[in-house]
Chain A
Amino acid sequence: MASSIRVRAVESGGVTSLKALVRHPMDSGFVKDSAGNIVPAHFIQVLTISHNGKQVFIADWGPAVSKDPFLECRFEGAKKGDKLTISWIDNKGESDSTEATIA
Chain B
Amino acid sequence: MIDQTRRGFLKGVLGAGVAGIALGSGLIPLRVEAAPDASNWSKKAFSTPGVDDTISELYGMEAVESDKISMDLPTIAQNGAVVPVTVETSLPNVTGIALLVAQNPNALAATFEIPKGTLPFVSNRLKMAETTDVVAVVISDGKAYKATQNVKVTVGGCGG
Contacts and interface: CB of A to CB of B under 8 A. Distances in A.
A75 B84 CA distance: 20
Contacts of A67: 81-82
Interface string B88-125: 00000000000001001110111111110111011111
B78 to A, nearest CB: 14
Contacts of B84: 70
A5 B140 CA distance: 31
A4 interface: no
Contact of B106 (A26, A32, A62): A62
A71 B124 contact: yes
Contacts of B160: 30-32
B119 A66 contact: no
Interface residues of A, number: 42
B106 A64 contact: yes
Q: What bracket does the count of chain B residues touching chain A fall in?
A: 35 or more
Interface in A30-82: 30-32, 45-48, 50, 54-67, 69-77
Chain B, interface SS category: loop
Residue with the greatest number of chain B CB neighbours at <10 A, chosen from A47, A59, A61, A64: A64
A12 interface: no
Contacts of B111: 59-60
Given A32-B159, A64-B104, A72 B123 contact: yes
Nearest to B105: A30
Contacts of A89: 35-38
B56 interface: no
B159 A31 contact: yes
A60 B122 contact: no
B95 to A, nearest CB: 11
Given A32-B160, A45-B38, A89-B36, A57 B121 contact: no
Interface string A78-99: 0000000101110100011100
Given A30-B160, A64-B104, A65-B109, A70 B125 contact: yes
Interface of A: 15, 26, 28, 30-32, 45-48, 50, 54-67, 69-77, 85, 87-89, 91, 95-97
Given A30-B158, A45-B41, A75-B117, 15 more contacts: A26-B127, A32-B160, A50-B34, A58-B36, A60-B111, A66-B83, A66-B127, A69-B124, A70-B125, A72-B122, A72-B124, A73-B121, A73-B122, A73-B123, A76-B118
